[in-house]
Amino acid sequence: MSMSLPPPTDFTGLDCLSTGTLVLDADGRIVFINPAAETLLGVSGALLVGEDVLKAFARSPELLNAIQTARSEQEVVIEYELDLMMGGHPTLRVGCSVTPLDNPPHAMLVEMRAADPQLRIARLERARLQQEANRELLRNLAHEIKNPLGGIRGAAQLLEHELPRESLREYTQVIIKESDRLQSLMERLLTPHRMPRFGAVNIHEVLERVRSLILAETPSVALRRDYDISLPEIHADSEQLIQATLNVARNAVQAMHGQGEIILKTRVARQITL
């Protein structure tokens, strides 16, 4: 979408607009600025006309991105709120639209207005209400999931007593422990502001839980242990550690297409940043 303006030397019609208006030529130079823009920006048009927009608004990347998008896509770009910074002036919160022009060829019309605080408050209020609705949905979902978890856990406990071999009971323990972990996750959804539960954690117990889960999910993957058993306990949230490690292990399984070997290795590493 594009529009036309009077010949490049005659932008007098734009002087009457109450919105701050700039015209950029094909090279990105400011060729016109109306009085409303001078007032909004707090700068004389004589200082800006002829200036490269990249230099004039070097500290306003959001505006420059909007201009670049409008130029490349040849479509009107509207930004309802962005920060505008020029020289030593305070930051302005403005809304703007950038429109490609047919006349002059490849020129751009930039219109700016001070952001309406009431509109911003209304948008924030809508966002808050949407966030509350999402929380309520999660709470309802958590309640629905919690109910069958107890039945799954109870059935696994009954099955464990009927299994003849200890190696088979390891799988029922996976079901029981993961049911407990899901129960903990549901409680976390019901109380989203709960702080992490830090305590003494044996990292090898975490890895063994993850190992049991991966073996149950993908028996074709080999998991080899390479533990430094001298490692002390760490201060952490065990549930979050299990979840994080399990995510990494599942990503590895997916990358190997369910075939290969995963090494669970623990060592002391110094001066390492993750």
Angle value at C-alpha 62, between 112 and 76, nearest 5 degrees: 55
For residue 274, the model assigns a pLDDT of 61
User: Taking every pair of C-alpha atoms in the chain, what is the biggest distance, in angstroms?
Assistant: 94
Is 226 a residue whose pLDDT tops 70?
Answer: yes
**C-alpha separations of 195 from 36, 51, 101, 125, 146 in Å:** 51, 53, 54, 26, 21
Tokens encoding 258: 């369910």
Is 154 a residue whose pLDDT tops 70?
Answer: yes
Is 232 a residue whose pLDDT tops 70?
Answer: yes
Distance between CA 40 and CA 42 in Å, rounded?
Answer: 6
Is 264 a residue whose pLDDT tops 90?
Answer: yes
Considering the chain, what percentage of its residues have pLDDT values greater than 90?
A: 27
Tokens encoding 130: 């949407």
For residue 147, the model assigns a pLDDT of 67
Is 3 a residue whose pLDDT tops 90?
Answer: no
Give residue-wise pLDDT tens across range 126-142.
888 888 888 778 777 77
Considering the chain, what percentage of its residues have pLDDT values greater than 70?
A: 90
Please check whether residue 223 is in contact with residue 215, taking contact to mean a CB–CB distance below 8 angstroms.
yes
Q: Output b/e per residue, 74-100; b: 16+ Cβ within 10 A.
A: eeebebeebebbbeeeeebebbbbbbb
Is 59 a residue whose pLDDT tops 50?
Answer: yes
**Average pLDDT over all residues of the chain:** 83
Identify residue 217 by its one-letter amino acid code: E
Give residue-wise pLDDT tens across range 19-39.
899 999 999 999 999 999 998
**Helix residue spans in the chain (DSSP H):** 35-41, 45-48, 53-56, 61-73, 117-162, 166-190, 203-217, 238-255
Query: What confidence tier does 7 reach under pLDDT thresholds 50, 70, 90?
Result: very low
For residue 235, the model assigns a pLDDT of 93
For residue 8, the model assigns a pLDDT of 44
Query: What confidence tier does 201 reach under pLDDT thresholds 50, 70, 90?
Result: very high
